[in-house]
C-alpha cells in the first residue's frame, strides 16, 4: 500500500493519508502549530514520525510516517539517506524550479538518494541488493498550476493543449550515465517494453483534456 499527499489549492491546506491493507491514517495541520491525526476505524494508534510530518510540510519516502501503518506493513526504510536529504533541503524550495531540483536530487557517492538507483550495487541501505530498478519518473507541481485547470470539464481530447505539471522520465545520471540496459549486468536478459537507455528531460505535460 502507499501514502498520498493531499492539497486544497483554494484554502492552501495540506494533508497526507497513509493506508495498510485494513486501516487508514490521515494527517492534517490543526491551524495551531500542530498536526491533527485521524484514523479509520477511529481509536487506533495516532503516533507518528515527527520529522516526516510537520505543519508546513509532509515528506513521503515510501516509508510510512504513521507508526501503526509501519508495523502493519512491516516497513523498512531501505534508503535512509532520503530522509536526511529532504530535511536538509526542503527549506530551500521556493518555486517550481527549486522543487524540481529537490525531487531529482542525487548524491553521486550514494545512488540510493531521493532520485535514486539500485542497479549500481552501492549506497546507504540496511538491505543490500542490486536490481535493475531506480527512479523512473519525478513530478513537480504548484498550487497555482492546479488552479489553471479548474475550469476544465475533464473530457479527453487529443487536440487539447492544457498543461498541468512537470515530469521527468528517466533514471538519475551517475558518472555521466543514466541506467543503460545493454551496458548493465542484466544485458543478457531480454529487454521488455522499456528503452535501452532510460533517460529524459523535464517536460511540461499535456493533460489532453478540455
Instruction: Give CA 172 to chain center in angstroms.
Output: 14
pLDDT tens readout for residues 165-196: 999 999 999 999 999 999 999 999 988 888 99
Name the least confident of 13-22, 29-38, 128-137: 128-137
Q: Which domain holds residue 8?
A: 1-75
Model pLDDT, residue 64? 96
Residue 32 lies in a domain: yes
Rounded to two decimals, the pTM is 0.90
Positive or negative: CA dihedral 109, 115, 118, 124: positive
Q: Quickly state the pLDDT bin for 19 (edges 50, 70, 90).
A: very high
Residue 7 lies in a domain: yes
Number of compact structural domains in the chain? 1
Residue 38 lies in a domain: yes
Cell of 94: 521556493
Q: Quickly state the pLDDT bin for 148 (edges 50, 70, 90).
A: confident
Average pLDDT over every residue of 144-165? 87
Residue 171 Cα distances to 2, 3, 70, 187, angstroms: 22, 22, 28, 17
Per-residue pLDDT for 1 more than 70?
no
Strands 197-198 and 179-180: antiparallel
Positive or negative: CA dihedral 105, 111, 116, 120: positive
| 92 contact partners, CB below 8 Å, separation of at least 6 | 98, 102
pLDDT tens readout for residues 3-17: 899 988 888 899 999
Model pLDDT, residue 135? 76
Average pLDDT over every residue of 128-143? 88
Residue 187 lies in a domain: no
pLDDT tens readout for residues 29-52: 999 999 999 999 999 999 999 999
Angle at 22 between CA 4 and CA 65, to 5 degrees: 40
| 143 contact partners, CB below 8 Å, separation of at least 6 | 7, 9, 12
Residue 5 lies in a domain: yes
Model pLDDT, residue 81? 97
Amino acid at each position: 500500500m502507499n501514502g498520498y499527499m493531499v492539497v486544497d489549492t483554494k484554502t492552501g491546506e495540506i494533508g497526507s493519508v497513509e493506508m495498510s491493507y485494513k486501516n487508514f491514517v490521515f494527517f492534517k495541520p490543526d491551524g495551531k502549530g500542530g498536526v491533527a491525526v485521524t484514523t479509520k476505524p477511529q481509536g487506533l494508534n495516532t503516533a507518528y514520525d515527527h520529522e516526516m510530518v510537520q505543519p508546513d510540510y509532509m515528506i513521503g519516502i515510501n516509508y510510512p510516517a504513521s507508526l501503526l501503518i509501519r508495523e502493519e506493513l512491516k516497513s523498512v526504510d531501505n534508503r535512509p539517506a532520503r530522509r536526511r536529504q529532504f530535511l536538509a533541503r526542503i527549506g530551500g524550495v521556493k518555486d517550481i524550479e527549486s522543487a524540481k531540483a529537490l525531487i531529482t536530487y542525487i548524491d553521486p557517492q550514494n545512488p540510493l538518494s531521493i532520485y535514486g538507483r539500485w542497479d549500481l550495487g552501492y549506497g546507504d541501505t540496511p538491505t543490500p541488493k542490486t536490481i535493475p530498478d531506480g527512479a523512473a519518473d519525478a513530478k513537480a507541481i504548484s498550487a497555482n498550476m492546479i488552479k489553471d485547470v479548474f475550469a476544465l470539464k475533464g473530457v479527453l481530447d487529443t487536440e487539447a493543449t492544457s498543461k498541468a505539471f512537470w515530469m521527468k522520465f528517466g533514471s538519475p545520471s551517475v558518472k555521466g550515465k543514466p541506467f543503460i540496459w545493454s551496458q548493465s549486468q542484466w544485458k543478457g536478459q531480454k529487454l521488455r517494453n522499456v528503452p535501452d537507455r532510460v533517460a529524459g528531460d523535464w517536460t511540461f505535460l499535456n493533460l489532453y483534456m478540455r
